[in-house]
Amino acid sequence: MSTVMSVDEACAAAEAAQQWYADTDLQTRASLLEAIADAVDAARDDLVPIAVEESRLGIERLTGEVGRTTGQLRLMAQVVRDGAFLGVVLDKALPDATPPRPDLRRMNVPLGPVAVFAASNFPFAFSTLGGDTAAALAAGCTVVVKPNPGHPRLSDAIMAVAQQALADVGAPRGVLTMVSHGLQDGIDLVTDDRIEAVAFTGSQRGGLALAKLAADRPRPIPFYGELGSINPIFVTPEAAAERGASIAEGWVGSFTLGAGQFCTKPGLLVAPRDEAMRSAAVAAVGGVPAQGMLTQPIRDAFLHGVSERIDMASIDVLSGGGWDAETDTVHATLLAVPASEVIATPELLEECFGPMSLLVEYDDPKQMLALADVLPGLLAAGIHGNADEPIVDELMPRLVARAGRVLWNGWPTGVAVTWSMQHGGPFPATTAPATTSVGASAVDRFLRPVTWQGMPQAVLPVPLRDGNPWGIPRRVDGVLDPG
Catalytic residues: 226, 263
Whole-number Å distance between alpha carbons of 8 and 67: 33
* Nearest distance in Å: CB 200, ligand NAP: 7
Kindly tell me which residue out of 123, 202, 266, 377 binds ligand NAP, with binding defined by CB under 6 A: 202
Work out which of 16, 209, 245, 391 binds ligand NAP, going by CB under 6 A.
Answer: 209
CB of residue 481 to ligand NAP, shortest distance in Å: 39
- Closest CB to ligand NAP among 13 and 210? 210
CB closer to ligand NAP, 137 vs 190: 190
Which residue in the set 58, 64, 152, 206 belongs to the binding site for ligand NAP (CB under 6 A)? Answer: 206
Task: Find the part of the chain contacting ligand NAP (CB under 6 A) among 5-13, 183-191, 314-322, 361-369.
Answer: 183-191
Q: Contacts with ligand NAP: how many residues (CB under 6 A)?
A: 25
What span, in angstroms and rounded, lies between the C-alpha atoms of 375 and 403? Answer: 10
Q: Does 309 bind ligand NAP (CB under 6 A)?
A: no
Query: Of 3, 55, 177, 201, which lies in the binding site for ligand NAP, with binding defined by CB under 6 A?
Result: 201
Q: Is 299 in the site for ligand NAP (CB under 6 A)?
A: no
Residue 18 vs 413, nearer CB to ligand NAP: 413
How far apart, in whole angstroms, are the C-alpha atoms of residue 71 and residue 52? 20
Residue whose CB is less far from ligand NAP, 298 or 315: 298
- Pick out residues in 120-179 that bind ligand NAP (CB under 6 A): 120-121, 146, 148-149
Q: How far is the CB of 46 from ligand NAP (least distance, A)?
A: 24
333 binds ligand NAP (CB under 6 A): no
Where does this chain touch ligand NAP (CB under 6 A) — which range of 69-77, 119-127, 363-371, 472-480?
Answer: 119-127
- The residue number with the shortest CB distance to ligand NAP is 206
117 binds ligand NAP (CB under 6 A): yes
When binding is defined by CB under 6 A, the residue of 203, 231, 431, 441 that contacts ligand NAP is 203
**Where do contacts with ligand NAP occur on this chain (CB under 6 A)?**
117, 119-121, 146, 148-149, 181-183, 186-187, 201-203, 206, 209-210, 226-228, 263, 298, 301, 353
